[in-house]
């Protein structure tokens, strides 16, 4: 079975972008959508049930009869009901989606790494369960995780932590940074780059190994990575910023891009997707994006748009071939 989709939310999970995410995940679905929601990243907070509860209430209202929400405390790794409790990890089996959200990335990493719950999450994702990660949980899932509170509040010198490395299962080394364009500091304090500020973040960026991709998600912005479709969709009101080596690309909300469009670091994803091939990965980013848009147009039976995109691809020196398993791009 193919991997489930991975959703990363920069912020705004209880606003319009959260509703958009749910609508995309449920599109075309006829069976009820069951989502487990874990408190773990906020487990250190005295009001952690309410931190998760606000999101659970919003998701539950938006799902309505289309699905159901199952909140799970799992606030820490030790003790009954914790993340190393087999009874809790068993409840994740058979879920259509698993959600983790706000809190502390450091705390989430400490109380998930090597536990039965984290292994159950990875196992579920590998067999088709969607994984939805917001804010702190998105950071924690990185290969290199940003310890926001330790830098921004405690005042430690900037450093990277070893994260849970979810995408490492696909051969992708990522640093996921929500709140990329955070403006809460106003004119007096730069709180962009997840509150640490651009100057400190740029210094941190320079320390990353050459094979690491930084995924920066603006406020009120999300991405959905769909390996089966070979597609990355950007939702919300901001942008997705991708840095790899010296290169930086930004993709506005409402854009679809082929997984291969993100360069060499995502080539393994492109090779695994249903609609791509090794030849596809060699095409320029804009050609791959047109190919993905054409696939979406064909799925929507918008034949004039599909034909126009084919002509654009051909003019750029490439040919697109359709087959039962998707499309292939080849040099013209």
Per residue in 5-23, pLDDT (tens digit) is 999 999 999 999 999 999 9
Question: At 284, phi and psi to the nearest 5?
Answer: -60, 155
State yes or no: pLDDT of 285 exceeds 70: no
pTM above 0.75, yes or no: yes
Q: Lowest-confidence range among 147-151, 160-164, 169-173, 324-328? A: 324-328
Structure tokens that stand for 63 in this block = 């799902």
Among residues 220, 285, 298, 296, the alpha carbon closest in space to that of 253 is found at 220
What's the confidence (pLDDT) of residue 302? 84
Q: What is the pLDDT of residue 325?
A: 52
For the chain, domains (ranges, CATH) are 6-274 (3.40.50.880), 276-332 (no CATH)
Given a cut of 70, whether residue 243 has pLDDT beyond it is yes
Which SS3 state, helix, strand or coil, does residue 62 take? Answer: helix
| Long-range Cβ contact pairs of 311-318 (< 8 A, separation 24 or more) | 313/287, 316/284, 316/286, 316/287, 316/290, 318/283, 318/287
Q: Which of 115-129, 130-144, 167-181 has the lowest mean pLDDT?
A: 167-181
pLDDT (tens digit per residue) in 199-240 = 999 999 999 998 899 999 999 999 999 988 878 899 999 999
pLDDT at 277: 41
**DSSP, res 87:** H
Task: Give the number of residues written for the chain.
Answer: 332
Residue bearing tokens 């606030």: 75
pLDDT at 311: 83
Q: What is residue 331's predicted lDDT score, i.e. its pLDDT?
A: 66
Distance CA 148, CA 158 (A): 9
Q: Is 248 a residue whose pLDDT tops 60?
A: yes
- The residue-averaged pLDDT of 178-190 equals 95
**What b/e sequence results for 285-308 when a residue is b if at least 16 CB atoms lie within 10 Å of its CB, and e otherwise?**
eebbbbbbbbbbbbeeeeeeebee
Judged against a pLDDT cut of 90, whether residue 251 lies above it is answered with no
Count of C-beta atoms within a 10 Å radius of residue 247: 9
Question: How many angstroms separate the CA atoms of 218 and 310, rounded?
Answer: 32
pLDDT in tens, 62-119: 999 999 999 999 999 999 999 999 999 999 999 999 999 999 999 999 999 999 999 9
């Amino acid at each position: 079975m193919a991997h489930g989709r991975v959703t990363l939310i920069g912020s705004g999970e209880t606003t319009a972008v959260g509703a958009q995410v749910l609508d995309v995940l449920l599109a075309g679905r006829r069976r009820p959508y069951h989502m487990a929601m874990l408190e773990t990243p906020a487990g250190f907070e005295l009001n952690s049930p309410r931190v998760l509860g606000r999101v659970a209430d919003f998701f539950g209202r938006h799902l309505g009869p289309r699905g159901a929400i199952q909140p799970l405390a799992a606030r820490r790794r030790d003790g009954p009901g914790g993340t190393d409790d087999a009874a809790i990890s068993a409840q994740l089996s058979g879920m259509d989606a698993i959600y983790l959200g706000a809190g502390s990335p450091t705390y989430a990493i400490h109380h998930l790494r090597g536990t039965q719950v984290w292994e159950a999450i990875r196992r579920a994702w590998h067999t088709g369960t969607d994984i939805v990660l917001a804010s702190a949980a998105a950071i924690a899932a990185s290969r290199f995780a940003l310890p926001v509170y330790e830098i921004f509040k405690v005042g430690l010198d900037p450093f990277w932590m070893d994260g849970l490395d979810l995408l490492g299962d696909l051969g992708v080394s990522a640093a996921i940074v929500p709140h990329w364009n955070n403006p809460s500091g106003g004119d007096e304090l730069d709180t962009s780059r997840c509150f640490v500020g651009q100057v400190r973040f740029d210094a941190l960026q320079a320390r990353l190994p050459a094979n690491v991709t930084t995924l920066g998600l603006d406020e009120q912005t999300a991405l959905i990575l769909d390996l089966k479709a070979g597609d990355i969709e950007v939702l919300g009101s901001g942008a997705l910023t991708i840095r790899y080596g010296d290169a930086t690309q930004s993709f506005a909300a409402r854009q679809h891009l082929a997984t291969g469009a993100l360069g060499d670091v995502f080539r393994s994803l492109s090779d695994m997707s249903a609609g791509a091939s090794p030849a596809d990965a060699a095409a320029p980013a804009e050609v791959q994006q047109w190919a993905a848009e054409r696939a979406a147009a064909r799925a929507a039976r918008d034949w004039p748009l599909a034909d126009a995109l084919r002509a654009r691809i051909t003019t750029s020196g490439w040919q697109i071939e359709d087959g039962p398993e998707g499309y292939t791009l080849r040099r013209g």
